Amino acid sequence: MGLVGTSDVAGHVDTLLDSGKQDEASKTLKASSIVPDHVYPEQTSDARLIYYLAGYVARRKILTTKCRDCFEDLLTSAEDADKDISSFTAFCDNGGLLYPSQELFSFIGALEDSFTLCCSWNKLHRDSISEVMDSMRNLPLAGCTAHNKALTSSIVKFFMMTRLFFTRSLSTRSEHRKERRRST
Output the pLDDT for position 9. Answer: 64
CA-atom Rg of the chain in angstroms? 22
Output the pLDDT for position 182. Answer: 77
Output the pLDDT for position 104. Answer: 94
Round to whole Å and give the CA distance between 116 and 41: 6
For 124-170, write each residue's pLDDT tens digit: 666 666 776 776 777 888 999 999 999 998 998 898 888 877 766 65
Torsion angles phi and psi, residue 57, rounded to 5: -60, -40
Q: Does pLDDT of 42 surpass 60?
A: no
Backbone CA torsion sign across 165, 168, 171, 172: negative
Q: Which has the higher per-residue pLDDT, 58 or 127?
A: 58
Q: How confident is residue 29, by pLDDT bands cut at 50, 70 and 90?
A: low
For the chain, the structural domain boundaries read 1-38, 47-183
Output the pLDDT for position 5. Answer: 47
Output the pLDDT for position 3. Answer: 43
Round to whole Å and give the CA distance between 169 and 175: 10
Contact criterion met (CB below 8 Å) for 107 and 85: no
For 91-107, write each residue's pLDDT tens digit: 999 999 999 999 999 99
